Amino acid sequence: MPVSDLGRFLSAEELRRLGGLQVLAREVVEGFCSGLHQSPHRGFSVEFRQHRAYVPGDEIRSIDWRVFGRTDRFYVREYEEETNLRAQLLVDVSGSMGYGPAGKAKWQYAVQLAACLAHLMIRQQDSVGLVTFDSGIRRVLPPRARPSHLQAILGELEGAKTGGESDLGSVFRAVLPKLQRRGLLVLISDCFGEVQPLLRALAQLRHGHQEVLVFQVLDRDELEFPFREWTQFECLERPGSVRLLDPAQVRGAYLERLEAFRSELRRGCRQNRVDLVELTTDSPLTEALAVYFKRRMQHR
């Protein structure tokens, strides 16, 4: 899919910055692959796949000089090989992901993030699949590397509706038997729910030598609880569950429980060697990804 088709999900400025992430993303993926396969690099198999435009960071030796002689432009040769990354995007569509202003809910941010990651990986011929879930798995698109597969992923994301309760632990346990070989699992969720079942599932995945990356998406309201007047709070995962509360009476207890939840999640991810990337919906998406990619390269 051309980058321009991502305009349904990203602003013009985000699309511009997305191009700069391509090289960073490729280096991060090669870092993942080096721990999963014997060779993380393309270009060493016998089956030619395609040419693509040279970008800064590509190896000079991969340039096809014959094509340069005909076109006066730099292109690199890419090959199909078995060492390409297989990634699975697990995207939370439970009710709590619907929180936020119209057009800026956590769900919209998660969709943009999934679209960026899928585009970047398919662009470099890595296989990407999609799992949407709430308390159970809703839809599964198996990993594919074809450019047309990105359209299927984006169409699925665009058509999904938030609702229902989330159960991250059971979803991970259901996904594990479907994994045919080692790869990268990317969870995009607010991670609300019981932490220990999630951590046990993450430990099981890591024991199976899966690489796991968690993007936790939260709204600024959830972090700061800025409410001052009597407010009606509605549970987005249990329709009809509504309470009228004085924020001044519950703010302290809420923030204390939130910090305990976040600390437990951070600690568990660190113990299981799972990358946890905390994002808020007011953070520019491509900037947040660039910061993570650079950090990942420094610590791989």
- How is residue 58 annotated by DSSP? S
Q: CA–CA distance from 289 to each of 18, 27, 210 (Å)?
A: 9, 13, 21
Does the pLDDT value for residue 255 go beyond 90?
Answer: yes
Stated pTM of the model? 0.79
Band of the pLDDT at 76, cuts 50, 70, 90?
A: confident
Q: What integer pLDDT is reported at residue 224 of this predicted model?
A: 96
Q: Alpha-carbon distance 93 to 137, whole Å?
A: 10
By DSSP bridging, strand 86-92 and strand 231-234 are: unpaired
Q: Alpha-carbon distance 171 to 112, whole Å?
A: 22
Supply angle C-alpha 289, 292, 297, rounded to 5: 125
Q: Alpha-carbon distance 231 to 229, whole Å?
A: 6
Q: CA–CA distance from 282 to each of 8, 241, 273 (Å)?
A: 19, 27, 27
Question: Phi and psi (nearest 5°) for 214?
Answer: -115, 120
**Which range, of 151-155, 220-224, 264-268, averages the lowest pLDDT?**
151-155
By DSSP bridging, strand 86-92 and strand 184-189 are: parallel
**Which range, of 125-134, 143-152, 179-188, averages the lowest pLDDT?**
179-188
Q: What integer pLDDT is reported at residue 32 of this predicted model?
A: 53
Domain covering 3-41+84-299, topology: Rossmann fold (3.40.50)
Question: Is 275:32 a contact under the CB 8 Å cutoff?
Answer: no
Q: What integer pLDDT is reported at residue 45 of this predicted model?
A: 42
Residue with tokens 């001052």: 228
Residue percentage of the chain with pLDDT more than 70? 82
Delimiting residues of CATH 3.40.50.410 domain(s) in the chain: 3-41+84-299
Mapped onto helix, strand or coil, the DSSP state of residue 152 is helix
Tell me the pLDDT tens digit for each residue of 81-95: 444 678 899 999 999
Does the pLDDT value for residue 103 go beyond 60?
Answer: yes
Residues 6+ positions from 119 with CB-CB distance below 8 Å = 1, 3, 6, 18, 150
Q: What is the mean pLDDT of the chain?
A: 82
